[in-house]
Amino acid sequence: MNQDVIITCAVTGAGDTTSRSNLVPITPRQIADAAIEAAKAGAAVAHIHVRDPETGQGSRDVGLFEETVQMVRDSGVDVIINLAAGMGGDWVPSEEDPSLPGPGTDMIGPEERLAHVIACKPDICSLDCGTMNFGGNYTYINTAPYLRTMAGIVQKLGVKPELEVFDLGQIRLARNLIDDGLINAPPMFQLCLGIPWGAGADTETMAAMKQALPNDALWAGFGISKMQMPMVAQAVLLGGNVRVGLEDNIYLDRGVLASNGMLVKRAVEIIERLGARVLSAEEARKKIGLK
C-alpha cells in the first residue's frame, strides 16, 4: 500500500464531454481556474489539455496552452503542471478510400506534437506509449520511432515524461525507451484503464500492469467513468498514486455532475479513509524528483 499519495487531476481532456456537462472547462481562463480549484482541493498535479474556445473541441494550439499555463503560474497556487502531449495522432480512414485520411484526422509529426511543451516548459508532459484503437472508426497512432524522437526531445528540455500506458505491450515499449537511456530515472508511469479498446479497469488488470513495471518506477493509475473512484482505492492499495478529473469522468455520484474540485475532494476522502495521506505539490516534487 502507498502511504504517501500524489493526486493528479486531469481537468478537461479533449473528448466530447462539454455537450454532457456545463462544468467541463473550455476557455483558457476556465481551464486555469479548474487547475487552481483542483490544487486547492488537494491535487498536487494538474494534467492540462486545451480546447478551442469557440467550439469546445480539443485543441493543440500553442497560444492557448501558453495562456492557460501562464494563468496557473500567475495565480500563486502551488501545483505541478503536466501538459498533455498526445494531440496530433488521430487517424480516421476515408470511407471512399481507406488509404487516405477522412474527416476528423489530425496527424502530425513528433516534433510538432511537442511544440507547446517546448514553448511552455512544464514540469511534466505525457507521452502516450503506442498506437491504439479508440471507439468508432478512429485510431490513435504513435509509432515507436515517433515516441523515441519525442522522448529524446523531452529529455533535452529537462521535462519529466509521464509514460501513459494503455496495455501491457505499451509497457514493453516504454521499458525499451528506458533501457536505451531515453527516459531518466526514476521513470514515471500512468496506467490508463477502461478506455476502448485498451486494458480494462479492474483489479486483475491493474495488478498485472503494475507487476510489469520497472522496480524503480513511480506510478499512478486511473479508471474512467464509474470506475474512477474504485480505481483510486485500488491504486493506493497496490502501492500507486491516483488520477481523477473531468477528462475521465463527469459525475460525482449517479446522475450528479461534478466539478474537478469535487472529484479531488472525493479522492482525498478515499485515500485518507484507507489510512494514507495526500502529498502537497512541494512534497510531490521531491517524490517525483522535479527541480
DSSP string computed for 147-197 = HHHHHHHHHHHTPEEEEEESSHHHHHHHHHHHHTT-SPSSPEEEEEES-TT
Neighbours of 192 (CB within 10 A): 26
Nearest-angstrom CA–CA distance, 47 and 34: 11
**Whole-prediction pTM:** 0.97
* pLDDT tens over the chain, length 291 residues: 999 999 999 999 999 999 999 999 999 999 999 999 999 999 999 999 999 999 999 999 999 999 999 999 999 999 999 999 999 999 999 999 999 999 999 999 999 999 999 999 999 999 999 999 988 899 999 999 999 999 999 999 999 999 999 999 999 999 999 999 999 999 999 999 999 999 999 999 999 999 999 999 999 999 999 999 999 999 999 999 999 999 999 999 999 999 999 999 999 999 999 999 999 999 999 999 997
Residues 6+ apart with CB under 8 A from 252: 258, 262, 263, 266
Please report, as a single letter, which amino acid is at residue 238: L
Domains and CATH numbers, the chain: 4-288 (3.20.20.70)
Cα–Cα nearest to 108, from 156, 66, 140: 140
274-to-86, 221, 268, 278 alpha-carbon distances in Å: 33, 16, 10, 11
